Structure 1
Amino acid sequence: MEYNDITARCTFGGKTMSKDYRVLLYYKYVDMPDYEEYAAEHLRFCKENELKGRIIVAPEGINGTVSGTVEQTERYMNYVKQDPRFEDLWFKIDESDEHTFKKMFVRPKQELVTWRLDDEIDDNPNNLTGQYLSPKEFHDALLDEDTIVIDGRNDYEYEIGHFRNAIKPGVQSSREFPEWIDENLEEYKDKRVITYCTGGVRCEKLTGILMNKGFKDVAQLHGGVVNYSQDEEVQGRLWDGKLYVFDERISIRANHTDEDVVIATCHHCGTTEDRYINCSNPECNRQYVCCTECEEKHEAACTTECREHPRNRWPNIKETYADKKAQ
């Protein structure tokens, strides 16, 4: 990456980025016995430099998404790479008009992604993980009719966008994957299986789980859909819909060709739509696809019961809705 303090422009992957803010997505599996102390120091640095985002630090490594100005994110990347454990850390960089988070969280946890696997299973990706495929290799594998494509994300992420012909996981969290694999994929053990997720962190372990369960030919999209989307050659081809992301943007474009389509539909009226909102009933807070017309008509509630709930937040968010509608 080339950085220029005067123009505040960034060149990344051959694409010139000129917006004022950057979004950094990254992870690395590495032993971190000092993870709690590291998390505390990390939070201090982020707050001092006015960064926002969500970072998990665990005994097995780090996983984060951070937003800030060009200067702030450049300073952050330099800070992280000063630690020898992260000198080769791969930051996937996107641009934004503003912060994509409201606050800064750095949390010490036991896992980067909650799998809760049996203790006897070696789930360290540094010991066992699937073959890495470049965007071009993954694209070519998608065209092979004998290849089984598994979406390594949750079902609500799949709903708004996925690779063509990918198998939808019937899960709402990663810890449900082992049982889902046992119940649904037994017939594919002798097939070539490829997986993908947003940035790659989930597939590092998912592919290892598949291999532990006897799948013989397992591979993963290196760097996830974010890397695939930014690749100059494939440009996100064969991806349908939007890519769900875990920040204020909620979803972003992943297919940068004329093949880009919308595949999700409004929960209420069935109109083609790709925007998620949260139910206005705080005791539900379900995230669902909803068009702007139905958001107003149903007062941002996913059901009649939620709309009539005494704690419904719609009276307090009308102004926000009006602002969004005017944009």
Structure 2
Amino acid sequence: MITIAAFYRFAPLPDPAALRGPLARLACGRGVKGSILLAPEGVNGTIAGEAAAVEAVLDRLREEPGLEALSAKVSHADAMPFGKLKVRLKREIVTMGRPLAPGDAVGDYVDPADWNDVLRDPDTVAIDVRNDYEVAIGSFAGAVDPGTAAFGDFPDWWAENRARLAGKRIAMFCTGGIRCEKSTALLRAEGVADVVHLRGGILKYLEEVPETESLWRGGCFVFDDRVSVGHGLTPAGHVLCHACRRPLAPADRERPDWEEGVSCRRCIGTYDEADRERFRERMRQIELARARGGRHLGG
């Protein structure tokens, strides 16, 4: 059983580069894989490995001033969901084009147990601040989809739609909470007083709220080999198109435009035949790696 830990924390990191090497050596030495982003505004990551090894990496992060209270959302998988470890230095741990500064006010937190009441409030507008391809496979019933291709598009969307949402309480949600921290901070900085967000994000809601009481519909996209999860954080059955990196439902694989690793209904008109032949060669290499009991980095 593999332990998967998703985590983030906004806290000033004076020298992220100095942390990168020791953290990577520790994680590699313990067989931990996944992705960790370090930036002056904090840390963001999802890692996987044996439970003790994952906890050792988290404990190392907690040694940094400001990260002492770092917590993680833990789930499990039968197989390693990552092919390698990446520890990267970034300007932001989630890119909106506006780093979060110390002291920036964020929205008020709403616990998962109370989130349904927020969604049912007629004076509240719930906004899904994830990317369009994530929203396409699942969201809360009645939530607004900004249709943004990237999180960095959200400030422009808000500027264009702020007037029509005036006077409403704004409730935001995202996968694990990190994008909500930034988006609610943006609204607070622009004078919106009544703004809340889901504590722990969709993943915490799916973990804690019984399916019989849930207002969630569909799957929640995750950035690892599970592709999506549902209630109880169990895999929801989506797969990833390795051509366009978009999630697909099982029915999408029955369509004539589906070719594993080469094309799907979302990207069939995007790439030319030279691209698709290149993708086919990558799939051949992936299959060879599988046959040898290994894993190709492109798969």
Distance 1:81-1:295 versus aligned 2 partners, 3 A rule: farther
Partner residue in 1 for 2:273: 308
1:147-186 superposed matches below 5 A: 147-186=124-163
Q: Find the aligned partners of 1:33 and 1:69 in 2 and give their Cα distance.
A: 30
**Are residues 1:287 and 2:246 paired?**
yes
- Identity %, equivalent residues: 31
Deviations 1:99-118 (A, max 9, x none): 1111101111111111113x
Distance 1:135-1:235 versus aligned 2 partners, 3 A rule: farther
CA contact (8 A) 1:124 1:205 kept: no
CA contact (8 A) 2:11 2:102 kept: no
CA contact (8 A) 2:131 2:150 kept: yes
CA contact (8 A) 1:229 1:236 kept: no
CA contact (8 A) 1:23 1:68 kept: yes
Equivalent residue letter for 2:248 = V
The alpha-carbon deviation at position 234 of structure 1 amounts to 7.0
Equivalent residue letter for 1:135 = P
Partner residue in 1 for 2:95: 114
Distance 1:287-1:233 versus aligned 2 partners, 3 A rule: closer
Please report the TM-score for the alignment, with normalisation by the length of structure 1: 0.77
CA contact (8 A) 1:29 1:126 kept: no
2:201 to 224, 235, 248: 224
Moved more, 212-221 or 291-300: 291-300
Partner residue in 2 for 1:17: none
Query: Greater relative contact order: 1 or 2 (C-alpha under 8 angstroms, separation 6 or more)?
Result: 2
Q: Find the aligned partners of 2:43 and 2:100 in 1 and give their Cα distance.
A: 15
Partner residue in 1 for 2:76: 95
Distance 1:315-1:74 versus aligned 2 partners, 3 A rule: same
- Say how many residue pairs are matched: 281
Distance 1:316-1:41 versus aligned 2 partners, 3 A rule: closer
Q: Find the aligned partners of 2:199 and 2:97 in 1 and give their Cα distance.
A: 24
Partner residue in 2 for 1:40: 21
Deviations 1:236-286 (A, max 9, x none): 811111111111222111x359xx9x8xxxxxxxxxx8433122xxxxx35
SS in structure 2 opposite 1:226? helix
CA contact (8 A) 1:149 1:194 kept: yes
**Are residues 1:51 and 2:32 paired?**
yes
Distance 1:214-1:87 versus aligned 2 partners, 3 A rule: closer
Q: Find the aligned partners of 1:63 and 1:168 in 2 and give their Cα distance.
A: 24
Q: Find the aligned partners of 2:133 and 2:96 in 1 and give their Cα distance.
A: 18
Q: Find the aligned partners of 1:235 and 1:35 in 2 and give their Cα distance.
A: 44
Moved more, 286-295 or 144-153: 286-295
Deviations 1:6-43 (A, max 9, x none): xxxxxxxxxxxxxx111101111111111110122211
SS in structure 2 opposite 1:139? helix
Structure 1 runs not aligned, ≥5 long: 1-19, 263-272, 280-284
Distance 1:92-1:303 versus aligned 2 partners, 3 A rule: same
CA contact (8 A) 2:73 2:204 kept: yes
Moved more, 133-142 or 224-233: 224-233
The alpha-carbon deviation at position 320 of structure 1 amounts to 6.2
Partner residue in 2 for 1:74: 55
SS in structure 1 opposite 2:48? strand
Please report the TM-score for the alignment, with normalisation by the length of structure 2: 0.84
1:276 to 232, 235, 240: 240
Which protein has the bigger helix share?
2
Partner residue in 2 for 1:25: 6
Partner residue in 2 for 1:12: none
The alpha-carbon deviation at position 225 of structure 1 amounts to 0.8
Moved more, 201-210 or 124-133: 124-133
